[in-house]
Structure 1
């Protein structure tokens, strides 16, 4: 004997609502259709599951005995359906910002395979660990700096070089690169990069290490305003790339060397998430990751690229990788 799941659902709806009419409304069916399904179920089982009266429907002794099995049966069916739907849906990826290195990694991953992706640009407005735990996103990129919550896994993803942007009247404007030591006592204007964000922590450490003044003053009026101010100044610089800001004829990008500051991106996901594309993306990231070269690159600490489980803070400001 094979049970009709639709009939079992109708039975549960009547039990939960207490009336055939209300159960029919919830199921989007007619009362007659619900009655026929339950009658067929009772016939298949050769028992009476419900008693009907003017006040509603009530379980019989056989109905009470069948009820937990009916709930378990529908629960398993729903779980199987959800699992299959999850396997077919796009992989939801929080890249944090569209103009950072993770976007390049995700694009290469998409173009190299047949996995559909759904790009999420949170800008740090939501906690990544919560989003990973509740399934709002499947994977997320960010800087990892402390102990991760239970269940969160991570691998180092990439190291993004950070150049400077200067106006054409700046003394460094004609240089292709500048040693980090030469930026000592230079003011790097980073509006919006204050507080306790992962970006703010990174640039505070960079400033302390190399004697760069990190100025986070002033409201954030957008990338155009930042570029206008940099272009108009013969002294200010900002850390970032030309891809992050609107094109400005008065601003040029200069590489930083000896060492080059790099931003350590990690890929994070929740261990309970069984989306089949997660292992594929993890493998893609691991195959392309290159460890830090301490002779030519600088990190505020080595932990973010070690592969150990650590967490990051939020949010990301408008400037930075």
Structure 2
């Protein structure tokens, strides 16, 4: 069986600091799945500045927290201080990948796969390609760049990126959107960890979760970073409208650490909604989540 090494470049990652939307969850799951499949995998992301720079959560997987010296001055999450982090990531990640991952893999006769996510990593991937060509090592690595959405497309040098890597995206919609930029990406749909469908929650846990959420109807949920483009204000206003129509809605949200979250909660209070901000520590067990939800009295 091949033990080809993988490197995933992503701003988002497994830390709460680094999770502003679905990307962090996806790359964390992908990295874990690759490691479980026998591939040594490094996930290089903009991590929590208070945590170790390197961590191995399971055999074959290494989390590498980047830009921590910048993040300590930007406490509001992965996209706080974004431009400085992009510059630091692009200037320091490429040499690390080439010298610390590609070089030993090449010596062992292995070809490395580097998968970069979103516009933030484009400059880093272009630089990795350039370093590999300087050393005549370009055939020792497969470089892929993936787009989940169109954010930041105006900041990408598409000609340089297309020369450096194979472009991919997550849907036919995105493929067609990228055609207008003169590129033709390969579609690779997102997946989910097998455990999510192979190990369904026990009926008792489902009943407990329903009880903790209360009897509000309808029950609404929204997940994403606190960014105006994510339409948080509209979601809050829609919830308030349901309440005005005599319903008893409950909106359960998971946002990021971005300052726009304050605007969202302020708007909810202004509209007469009851708000409760609950923090739940990371756990494989459902009890901490149930306890937090049971104490919440928000709408």
Give the TM-score normalised by structure 2: 0.29
Give the TM-score normalised by structure 1: 0.27
Q: Which has the larger radius of gyration?
A: 1
RCO (CA 8 Å, sep 6+): is it higher in 1 or 2? 1
